[in-house]
Structure 1
Amino acid sequence: MKILVIEDNESVASMIEMFFAKEGIDGEFIMDGLEGYARAKEGEWDCLIVDWMLPGMDGVTICRKLRQENETVPIIMLTAKDSESDQVLGLEMGADDYVTKPFSPLALMARIKAVTRRYNPQKLDANMIETSHFKMDKSTREVYLDGMPISNLTPKEFDLLYHFLQHPRQVFSREQLLESVWGYQFYGDDRTVDVHIKRLRNKIGSKDRDFFQTVWGVGYKFEESPSGNEK
């Protein structure tokens, strides 16, 4: 696993670097936002870990610019800002997850594994889903809506859509989605789900067609019948 860490706090960077060494992760560490942004575009990364407050360019701007350029690498924001509005802002700008300082290396590793989860490319048929509107290939990370490719989904948006396509019309709570899609149990992060649903609605929906239905007091469901299986 190859991870770029953009973090200007030397003690935090050193802690992450030591943990990466134990886990066998190839980490590159940069302390300046502008330099980190340029490096993020240059390399092939499994994940970016980006601090919120950085010299040169802040982490939210880095995240926003990368998403505007259709970079789909998973991004985890590190932040000392623990207010809900700050966390939602980071997710709105395209981060897949966030970790609030101070944090344990084990907690960070759990988030890294969750956002970088990859699938066995040899199981092509098992990774294919085709419905009346969508076609998704989990092994190649390709998704088509009515035959047109959708290339601007982040890794976690792809995983969330895939999960819903696997379970059409089934209602999921935010806690269930966090556990199934993000890979960790609910610890007060339910706004993460809301933000990702909103982004998916903006990317694949329209004012006349909303695939995601809010079930008030419960969660969300995806309303579409798989082609050839249900009428």
Structure 2
Amino acid sequence: MNVFFEEDVSKESLYKTVFSQKSEGIILSSMYYESQYFDELLKLGIPYIMFNRKHKSGGNFVEIDNHQAGYLGAKYLVSKGHKDIHFFSGELEKSTFLNRYKGFCEAMDELNTAYDSTISITKQNPELIREELEKVLSQEKRPSAIFAATDMIALTLIDCLQKMNLRIPEDIAIIGIDNTETLKHSSLNLTSIGPVEGEHLSSIAVEQLFKMIENGEMKEFQRTIPCKLYERGTV
């Protein structure tokens, strides 16, 4: 069984590596929503699971309800009195970010809260995130809260904000998505949105892939896990 993440290598190299190796099964978190490589993945004829990603054509995947995550985060920040919320997202060509963005927008529309000029779309590169944050904070109207589309983006933003001597949450609030275990630590205490208690994407992906391999089962597997907000100390 092979596990491939988009951060490991370039997109082209990743798929070349995947398709050239003899594998019993694949867990893949690098699939773009309209990826040209999806058909090639199917042609391999081996069990696979897309991890918190899915292709527009469906296929096998396990994910959190990314739309719900974006929706819950926006509703929560507004409920805490924040009207100037900046949304930091990765590329919308990925279903994870696309649906989190759509959920955020839907909630803001329902709450009749403006957001058109308060969205940053950037690659998950710390330097690019830092540069974008500097632009955001240089605006005449600084946001009172930042909604990061992943905990890892939130972690980069927290590091940048602290280096600017901005206090969290006193000067600016911040939340993330994924409820990453290490960011629950008291030194960060990140408010985040993740799967409901008892549900773990990684365990589900591995267990399901082993079932497919052992049973020779090629029936389509699709599972979306509901989310909840974990309130901690950054808002």
TM range (shorter): 0.3 to 0.5
- With a CA cutoff of 8 Å and minimum separation of 6, indicate the structure with the bigger relative contact order: 2
Q: TM-score, normalised by structure 1?
A: 0.36
Q: TM-score, normalised by structure 2?
A: 0.36
